[in-house]
Amino acid sequence: MIVAIPYGKNKEVTFAIKEENFSGIIEPSSVKPAPDPLKEIEAAIDHPIGTPSLQEIVKFDHRVNIICDDISRPTPVHLILPILIKKLKAIGVKNDNIKIVMALGSHRYMTEDEMKARVGEEIYREFKVVNSEFKREDDLVELGVTADGVEIYACKEAMDSDIRIGIGNIVPHPVMGWSGGAKILFPGVTGEKTVAQFHIKGGLADENLFGLEDCPIRLNMENWVENVGLDFIINTVLTTSSEIYKVVAGHYVHAQRKGVEYAKIALGQKVEKKVDIVVASSFPADQDLWQSPKAMFSAEHALKKEGKGTIILVSPNYEGIGPHQEYPKFFGMDDAEEILFRLYQGEEMGVDPLAVSVGTAMSKMRQRVNLIMVSDGVTKEEMDTCKIGYYPLAELQRAIDETIAKYKDPSVAVVRHGGELFIY
């Protein structure tokens, strides 16, 4: 039978699987988008979960920083900001006291055109819009140490306010379990070393955290944010076509947890029978090798526990390896965790800690399951460094046929929305 999966936003690719091997397509449940997305946003802001109203939190003379996630996320920031800013103006907050910060984590800086598209041209002209800083130490402020010993440095531009409001989207996440909530601050606007500590925790974990609701890394992070202050969040849950399904607002824990309940409905799918092979599209996490393996974390939940299953990831990887060029080296290193643990203990290693952290998590997965990349955005040499299989897009069918031939009567499932799919 012929199966189609997304390859980026505007393209689908097809391949054939024999019916006796085909277990089925695993994709999020079909939910209807909100009939009026703008009313959904306004209703969420007007009826916050776990906090007083915005009018009770914000005073007319407050300096307000609105912290938004970046272009690697599908959050409809351009729809949320006009409604939020209108409410801030109704309270009496002046334009000069409102600033919009793009929370980059350790992602590349957004261009002016990208920021303009993200927030909308009118808002870009009317308000100060900046990237968060994570590299230049002079632009960071020290905020203390977490209970588990992480030194916190954060972007001055994000922290210099009386009120901080976070805007983000809720999907499964390979380190936090689920995104949204306080993640907009940590690691969203923290310095590179602090972001590295966040990822080190994920790299040291010996389990797949993708979709884990009570993820210990998130719980630790939320304790820190309680001390620093995140006054209000607005989080979306989207359909697979990136339309608004639900919006939650209010407290960064209570509202986020309610959002996770909605996200499990919109992005979750139960699998009764685990399989030998999963062919997974990275959509919508298609940007680069830093983002696309989210679909591998998702797909792993569909593999049988016995034996060594295979994940074939199909992804455009538009920006290649991504922002951390050392990443493939640690991806392919069997003992990467030893280096990561030495970094965790504070030893200077002369390496990119973020590359080691995420590389270690992927190295562990690579040793649990067989990984294959089908992509025109990365090279065979790069995937050889990662120690995973590689085929160009034109050889997708060959990748599937050769993988099936290595098993005796294997079962094969197909994941269409792997970058955000919660399999349980």
Helix ranges, 291-392 (H): 294-300, 327-331, 336-344, 353-368, 380-386
Across residues 182-201, what is the average pLDDT? 86
The superfamily CATH assigns to domain 2-28+270-423 is: LarA, C-terminal domain (3.90.226.30)
Could you write out the DSSP letters of every residue in 377-416?
Answer: SS-HHHHHHHT-EEE-GGGHHHHHHHHHTTSSS--EEEES
What is the per-residue DSSP string for 27-54? -----PPPSSHHHHHHHHHHS-BSS--H
User: Which of the four pLDDT bands, split at 50, 70 and 90, describes residue 301?
Assistant: very high
- Return mean pLDDT, the chain: 94
Distance CA 240, CA 5 (A): 13
- Per-residue pLDDT, averaged over 129-157, amounts to 85
* Prediction pTM value: 0.90
pLDDT at 29: 87
pLDDT at 194 (0 to 100) = 84
Instruction: Give CA angle at 295 (355, 244), nearest 5°.
Output: 110
User: Where does CATH 3.90.226.30 sit in the chain?
Assistant: 2-28+270-423
Q: What is the mean predicted confidence (pLDDT) over 48-53? A: 98
233 pLDDT exceeds 90? yes
For domain 37-266, the question of CATH label 3.40.50.2300 is answered with: no
Is the N-terminal amide bond of 187 cis, ω within 30° of 0?
yes
Q: Please say if the pLDDT value at position 227 is more than 80.
A: no
Tell me if residue 269 falls in helix, strand or coil. strand
Average pLDDT value for residue range 233-249: 96
Backbone angles phi and psi of 252, in degrees to 5: -65, -15
Residue 170 has a pLDDT of 97
Q: Does residue 347 or residue 228 have the better pLDDT? A: 347
pLDDT for residue 226 is more than 90: no
Q: Which residues of 228-264 are buried (b: 16+ CB within 10 A; e: fewer)?
A: bebbbbbbbbbbbeeebbbbbbbbbbbbbbbbbebbb
From edge to edge, which strands make up the β-sheet containing 244-250?
Answer: 128-131, 98-103, 64-69, 163-169, 232-238, 244-250
Is residue 147 predicted with pLDDT exceeding 80?
no
User: Are the CB atoms for 326 and 19 separated by under 8 Å?
Assistant: no
Closest CA to 208 of 274, 148, 296, 134: 296
- The predicted model gives 288-308 an average pLDDT of 96
Give the alpha-carbon dihedral of 335, 341, 342, 347, to 10 degrees: 140
Rounded to the nearest 10 degrees, the angle between the axes of helix 192-204 and helix 216-228 is 150
| Other CB atoms within 10 A of residue 328 CB | 24
Q: List, for residues 371-409, the tens digit of each pLDDT value.
A: 999 999 999 999 999 999 999 999 999 999 999 999 999
67/187 Cα distance (integer angstroms): 12
The pLDDT, as a whole number, for residue 70 is 93
Residue 366 has pLDDT above 90, yes or no: yes
Tell me the one-letter amino acid at 285: A
Stretch 317-333: mean pLDDT: 96
Q: Sort 185 into a burial class: Cβ within 10 Å, 0-12 / 13-18 / 19+.
A: buried
How many other C-beta atoms are found inside a 10 Å radius of the C-beta of residue 349?
11
Position 187 scores a pLDDT of 86
**Local confidence band at 225 (pLDDT 50, 70, 90 cut-offs):** confident
How far is the C-alpha of 27 from the C-alpha of 18, rounded, in Å? Answer: 20
- Dihedrals φ, ψ of 57, to 5°? -85, -40
What's the pLDDT score for residue 151?
A: 80
> Are residues 45 and 83 in contact, defined by beta-carbon separation less than 8 angstroms?
yes
172 pLDDT band, cuts 50/70/90, is very high
- Reported as a single tens digit per residue, the pLDDT across 60-75 is 999 999 999 998 888 9
Is a pLDDT exceeding 90 seen at residue 213? no
C-alpha to C-alpha distance for 76 and 223, rounded to whole angstroms: 28
The vertex-417 CA angle with 411 and 422, nearest 5°, equals 80
Burial group, residue 141, by CB count within 10 angstroms (0-12, 13-18, 19+): middle
Enclosing H/E stretch for 15: strand 12-16
The answer to whether 233 and 256 are in contact (CB under 8 A) is yes
pLDDT given at position 371: 98
CA distances from 130 to 77, 114, 161, 267, 329 (A): 14, 11, 14, 31, 33
Model pLDDT for residues 93-138, shown as the tens digit of each residue? 999 999 999 999 878 899 999 999 999 999 999 999 999 988 788 8
For residue 293, pLDDT beyond 80: yes
What confidence score (pLDDT) does residue 257 get? 98
Q: What is the pLDDT of residue 214?
A: 87
**What pLDDT is attached to residue 42?**
98
What mean pLDDT is predicted for residues 228-249?
Answer: 95
Rounded CA-CA distance 170/422 in Å is 12
pLDDT of 199 over the 90 cut:
no
Question: In which residue ranges of the chain is CATH 3.40.50.11440 found?
Answer: 37-266
pLDDT of residue 145: 81
Query: What per-residue confidence (pLDDT) applies to 112?
Result: 95
Contact 285, 214 (CB under 8 A): no
